[in-house]
Amino acid sequence: MSIFLTGDLFFGNRSDVLRATMESRQRLCESLAVQFSALVASDDIETIDLTLQNLVLRDGEISSAALRTEDGKLQAESGNHRERWADVAPGKSTMTHTQVPIFKNNQRWGTVEVRFADAAPVSTVDRYLSPFVMLALYISVAGFFAYAFFMKRTLKHLDPGAVIPDRVKSALDVLTEGVVVVDSKGQIVLANAAFTEKINANSRQLLGKRLAQLGWNLEAEQTVPWELAMQTGESQLDQQMQLKMADGTVLTFQVNSSPVQDEKSKPQGALATFDDVTEIVKKNVQLSDMVGELQQSRDEVNRKNEELKVLAERDSLTGCFNRRAFFERAYAEFSEAERSGSELSVIMMDIDFFKAVNDTYGHGVGDDVIKEVGRILEDGMRGAEVVGRYGGEEFCVLLPATDSAQAARIGERLRHEIQEKVWLCDSRIDQKITSSFGVTSTADSAESADALVDRADQALYESKESGRNRVMVWRRPAEPEAAAS
Ligand SMILES: Nc1nc2c(ncn2[C@@H]2O[C@H](COP(=O)(O)OP(=O)(O)OP(=O)(O)O)[C@@H](O)[C@H]2O)c(=O)[nH]1
């Protein structure tokens, strides 16, 4: 339609000019006819003849002119009209031959004939190139070019790869890293050899496809990095993406994307590089699994070590430190007390008449009593204070930073608690169970942890000897004395 209108604008004008010329010639003739009708009415043929002579003389466009009656006779003529008006059909005007009727008394009387000069010589080309032919020709040629232009664009659309020069494609094919160029719609316009080989695809199959729809494992609403690069105008680096292949395998790519912009920074597409890191990721996963397993084994070993340590250090019946572990602590605390100058106390205690408990209630009840005593002793300790099962029904307590008077008070509290609580631990026991305590501290110049424990044992012996169910503080052998009862 545009072509037609444009053609009409050019060629339609030419036909308008011709039409206007013809109309003006017709008007001239009609004006002559009006004048001549008046002259004919007065039979003034002479004036008509004179007018025709002048007309031909003065107007270069008019070759001849005549006044012809209805019966075909020429009444007046000029410019050798007879010859110039040969073979002209009566009553029909053309561009060069114009004829207008003359009336007399309302009757057709004759015709004014004017032969206009031929226009510029009409060449064969001009003859055939009438406005219509010109218009048709113009539409054909312009239509052809418009069609060619449209087809070129269409083909370019159908073959998006055509926008990338071959030398660029060849250069990119040399790279070992996959390279894909997409247009502003995310459609592939170039995929280099490394990429097509990696995903087992044909380069031409990929052209025009949306890169985002090749089968990537994407989260819901996730925007692929090359589209993000186009949206933000910024490069998107080190994005890891997984591509599910037709055979079910999954490739992992490290993807870098940069926007391709025009001079006005408008995104025209994006370039994305794909580095296949599938093997590295696999190895990383294996490594991480191994590290996890190692961690588990290490935790297991630590747990076992912890258990072993507990088993090695703790007494299985009461959970208190065993004798060996207790002495390790005692040595450490003794050294620390010596280094710091603080006082370290030791309590040794023994359940009174425990043989009778076993004998009366059975060995099981005896075990429960020992456990209950151990629990009371453990619960009564704070911070660095340590309870050890010294043997049988005998316990030993380490009290760092505690003098013997404080230790005796602690012993007294424990003695009272045992007496009040232990017999309640088993419903079969129907009598209170008592215990005896011996107390000492480093203030009495014990030379070692062993000596300290030994002195506490001596004080305990004194408690037993002096009637049991009491706490005795160690005194030099000559003068042990009772602290409380
Ligand atoms: N049930 C039980 N009994 C034990 C355990 N270890 C030692 N005994 C018993 O504890 C009793 C200790 O008795 P003795 O040392 O004679 O002293 P005692 O009867 O407590 O009398 P005194 O200490 O003099 O008041 C023994 O009969 C041992 O068999 C144990 O783990 N469980």
Using one digit for the tens of pLDDT, what is the confidence trace for 113-141?
999 887 665 555 555 556 666 666 677 77
State the pLDDT at residue 161: 61
State the pLDDT at residue 313: 93
Residue 89 vs residues 33, 53, 92, 97, 189: alpha-carbon distances, Å: 19, 24, 6, 10, 71
Cα separation, 455 vs 439, whole angstroms: 8
Which atom of ligand 1 is least distant from the CA of 317?
Answer: 31
360 pocket-lining for ligand 1 (C-beta < 6 Å): no
Looking at ligand 1, which residue's alpha carbon is closest to its atom 31?
A: 392
Q: Measured in angstroms, how far is the CA atom of residue 357 from the centroid of ligand 1?
A: 8
366 pocket-lining for ligand 1 (C-beta < 6 Å): yes
Find the helix packing angle between 363-379 and 404-421, rounded to 10°.
140
State the pLDDT at residue 406: 97
Which atom of ligand 1 is least distant from the CA of 366?
Answer: 1
Residue 246 vs residues 224, 243, 250: alpha-carbon distances, Å: 20, 10, 9
Q: Measured in angstroms, how far is the CA atom of residue 403 from the centroid of ligand 1?
A: 30
Looking at ligand 1, which residue's alpha carbon is closest to its atom 24?
A: 353
367 pocket-lining for ligand 1 (C-beta < 6 Å): yes
Q: Measured in angstroms, how far is the CA atom of residue 450 from the centroid of ligand 1?
A: 23
Looking at ligand 1, which residue's alpha carbon is closest to its atom 28?
A: 355
350 pocket-lining for ligand 1 (C-beta < 6 Å): yes
The total of other beta-carbon atoms located within 10 Å of residue 5's CB is 9
Handedness of CA 391, 393, 396, 397 (dihedral sign): positive
Q: Measured in angstroms, how far is the CA atom of residue 433 from the centroid of ligand 1?
A: 13
- Evaluate whether 459 touches 483 at the Cβ level (below 8 Å): no
State the pLDDT at residue 19: 79
The total of other beta-carbon atoms located within 10 Å of residue 474's CB is 26
- Evaluate whether 470 touches 438 at the Cβ level (below 8 Å): no
Counting ligand 1 atoms within 8 A of each CB, the residue from 358, 359, 435 with the most, and so the one to mutate, is 358
Q: Measured in angstroms, how far is the CA atom of residue 468 from the centroid of ligand 1?
A: 15
Cα separation, 204 vs 199, whole angstroms: 13
The amino acid at residue 402 is T
Q: Measured in angstroms, how far is the CA atom of residue 356 from the centroid of ligand 1?
A: 8
In the 3-class helix/strand/coil scheme, how is the chain assigned residue by residue?
CHHHHHHHHHHHHHHHHHHHHHHHHHHHHHHHHHHHHHHHHCCCHHHHHHHHHHHHHHCCCEEEEEEEECCCCEEEEECCHHHHCCCCCCCCCCCCEEEEEEEECCEEEEEEEEEECCCCCCCHHHHHCCHHHHHHHHHHHHHHHHHHHHHHHHHHHHCHHHHCCHHHHHHHHCCCCEEEEEECCCEEEEECHHHHHHCCCCHHHHCCCEHHHCCECCCCCCCCHHHHHHHHCCCEEEEEEEEECCCCCEEEEEEEEEEEECCCCCEEEEEEEEEECHHHHHHHHHHHHHHHHHHHHHHHHHHHHHHHHHHHHECCCCCCECHHHHHHHHHHHHHHHHHHCCCCEEEEEEECCHHHHHHHHCHHHHHHHHHHHHHHHHHCCCCCCEEEEEECCEEEEEECCCCHHHHHHHHHHHHHHHHHHHHHCCCCCCCCCCEEEEEEEHHHCCCCHHHHHHHHHHHHHHHHHCCCCCEEECCCCCCCEEEEC
| pTM of the predicted model as reported, rounded to 2 decimal places | 0.49
Burial class (CB in 10 A: 0-12, 13-18, 19+), 340: exposed
Looking at ligand 1, which residue's alpha carbon is closest to its atom 18?
A: 353
Which atom of ligand 1 is least distant from the CA of 350?
Answer: 23
Cα separation, 94 vs 119, whole angstroms: 12
Q: What is the ipTM of this complex?
A: 0.97
| Partners of 271 in beta bridges | 181, 258
Counting ligand 1 atoms within 8 A of each CB, the residue from 323, 352, 355 with the most, and so the one to mutate, is 355
Residue whose tokens read 């050899």: 193
Looking at ligand 1, which residue's alpha carbon is closest to its atom 14?
A: 355
The amino acid at residue 309 is K
Cα separation, 296 vs 470, whole angstroms: 52
358 pocket-lining for ligand 1 (C-beta < 6 Å): yes
Q: Measured in angstroms, how far is the CA atom of residue 391 from the centroid of ligand 1?
A: 9
Cα separation, 472 vs 436, whole angstroms: 8
Q: Average pLDDT per run of 10 along the chain, which is 485 residues long?
A: 57 65 84 86 88 88 90 89 85 87 87 84 56 68 68 58 74 91 94 93 89 93 93 94 93 95 89 94 93 94 90 94 96 96 97 96 96 96 94 97 96 97 91 97 92 97 97 79 54
Q: Measured in angstroms, how far is the CA atom of residue 355 from the centroid of ligand 1?
A: 4
Q: Measured in angstroms, how far is the CA atom of residue 353 from the centroid of ligand 1?
A: 7
Which atom of ligand 1 is least distant from the CA of 468?
Answer: 25
Q: Measured in angstroms, how far is the CA atom of residue 393 from the centroid of ligand 1?
A: 6
Looking at ligand 1, which residue's alpha carbon is closest to its atom 27?
A: 355
Looking at ligand 1, which residue's alpha carbon is closest to its atom 15?
A: 355
Cα separation, 268 vs 38, whole angstroms: 81
Looking at ligand 1, which residue's alpha carbon is closest to its atom 6?
A: 392
